[in-house]
Amino acid sequence: MLRISKRTLERMRVDGTGPRYLKAGPGKRSRVLYRQSEVLAWLESKSFGSTSEYPR
């Protein structure tokens, strides 16, 4: 859906800049899941109508 690498999503999770996610299972190596609604909400928060709206 986003067409970005797993590594980029991992970095965004660490930085707290990506969409909200779920961890399926215990431990650090548990599967990471994204709800479609969370991804869409995150994308909407990155939406701009003009370059003057983009944060500096």
pLDDT 10s digit of each residue in the chain, 56 long? 899 999 999 999 999 999 999 999 998 899 999 999 999 999 999 999 998 888 77
What is the distance between the alpha carbons of residues 41 and 31, in angstroms, rounded to a whole number?
Answer: 21
Provide Rg for the chain, Cα atoms: 13
pLDDT at residue number 17 = 95
If you search the block for the tokens 């779920």, which residue do you land on? 22
Domain boundaries, the chain: 6-46
Q: Is the pTM of this model over 0.85?
A: no
